[in-house]
Amino acid sequence: MSAFAAGCAICGYDLEAYRSERAAKREARPKVPSAPSVSLPRVEDEYLLVGLTTILVLFVPLFGLILAVIGYRNPRFANAQVWFALLGVVALVMLVVPQVRFGIWQLVL
């Protein structure tokens, strides 16, 4: 049976009438208004990476240092290169001087 056939090859049913009946039923259905689309503001990749690096520097300085070096050396993030350098220095200080790392927690708590 072809999609463009006028009648069924097996039973002889009129397919054109069936198609027009289905189209009429579709048109008779009430239209439901669609919800307005919500678009969130786009956040640039470099800001996301700087934020993630900041969190890692504060909680896991070794991984923060690694991510800061990756962000500093990546030419895609040239606008945030100073931030990555600063976060790398903070992570290095926190790794070398443990009192700084644990002292931050005492100030927070």
- The predicted pLDDT at position 104 comes to 60
Structure tokens at 104: 């931050």
CA distances from residue 31 to 8, 28, 37 in whole angstroms, order as listed:
32, 9, 17
- The predicted pLDDT at position 1 comes to 46
- The predicted pLDDT at position 25 comes to 83
Q: What is the pTM of this model?
A: 0.56
Name the residue ranges covered by the structural domains of the chain: 1-29, 45-108
List the chain residues with pLDDT less than 50.
1
- The predicted pLDDT at position 37 comes to 79
- The predicted pLDDT at position 3 comes to 56
